[in-house]
Amino acid sequence: MHIIPAIDVIDGKCVRLTQGDYAQKTEYASDPLLVAKAFEEAGIKRLHVVDLDGAKANTIVNRATLERITSNTQLHVDFGGGIKSAEAIEEAFEAGAKQITAGSIAVKNKPLVLDWIKQYGAERIIIGADVMNNEIRTHGWQEGSGLNIFSFLEDYVAAGAVYVICTDVSKDGLLQGPSFELYAELMERFPSLKLIASGGVATLDDLKQLEQMGIFGTIVGKAYYEGRITLTELASFGN
């Protein structure tokens, strides 16, 4: 299983939000590059970078931070936040991202994202599925979509989508454990997907259980930044 640490960026700094709430922000480091280098030096290969300013502005804001990370490390970076157009995708790739995450746009404009999968290849486009009670949420988790996650993913899988990041909104940032049952059902329904679990990881045992389930990757944020899981423990997984 790939361990994929998260670096969420506001004003060029490494922060974490609780349940996507910008009012519940904790700053962990003034320089995300130093955080990224620590992950790389520990042997971790992947990184999940989210431009939280970009998510609000509907366009990439923290390109310079992304560029500093990709040009000064060998990490495989997937990037999200503000990706609403082909121009934004090109900008992210030019700044060194290996993959982009299509979140709200994958709900609001499915034909466009299906086009991206054709144009850029399924290996480079991650479908972001933010879920509460199996309903897809959008716009920083504030809006319901009326879409069930399983029906939402069917068209994407049929079109050849390979990667999905699934975040249980009700778990994120609370350190209460991941949505094991949801992930098990997704893997059963869509065995071809490379599923990336996100939200709720609190302990090393959580990661071990996800690995045993056969999850492709798990995003780790608050549990690491709050000292619940050490860098050495994260690096002990396959990556």
The 10s digit of each residue's pLDDT in 128-145 is 999 988 889 876 556 666
Chain centre to alpha carbon of residue 45: 15
- Angstrom CA distances, 74 to 25, 35, 67, stand at 28, 14, 12
Phi, psi dihedral angles at 138 (to 5 degrees): -135, 175
pTM, full prediction: 0.93
Could you give the domains of the chain?
Answer: 2-235 (3.20.20.70)
The pLDDT-based confidence of 26 (bands split at 50, 70, 90) is confident
Catalytic residue among 51, 53, 130, 206: 130
- What is d(CA 129, CA 169) in angstroms, rounded to the nearest whole number? 10
Residue type, 14: C
Residues forming a β-bridge with 48: 6, 78
Q: Provide mean pLDDT across the span 111-140.
A: 91
Catalytic residue among 8, 168, 172, 206: 8
Count how many Cα atoms sit within 13 Å of the Cα of residue 89 in the half-sphere of its side chain.
20
Lowest mean pLDDT among 30-39, 101-110, 131-140, 202-211: 131-140
40-95 pLDDT, tens digit per residue, is 999 999 999 999 999 889 999 999 999 999 999 999 999 999 999 999 999 999 99
pLDDT at 10: 94
167-218 pLDDT, tens digit per residue, is 988 776 667 899 999 999 999 999 999 999 998 899 999 999 999 999 999 9
Closest residue by Cα to residue 129 from 225, 209, 58, 199:
199
In this model, does residue 150 exceed pLDDT 70? yes
Residue 8 annotated in active site: yes
Burial of 182: CB neighbours in 10 Å, binned 0-12, 13-18, 19+: middle
pLDDT at 17: 72
- What is d(CA 110, CA 153) in angstroms, rounded to the nearest whole number? 11
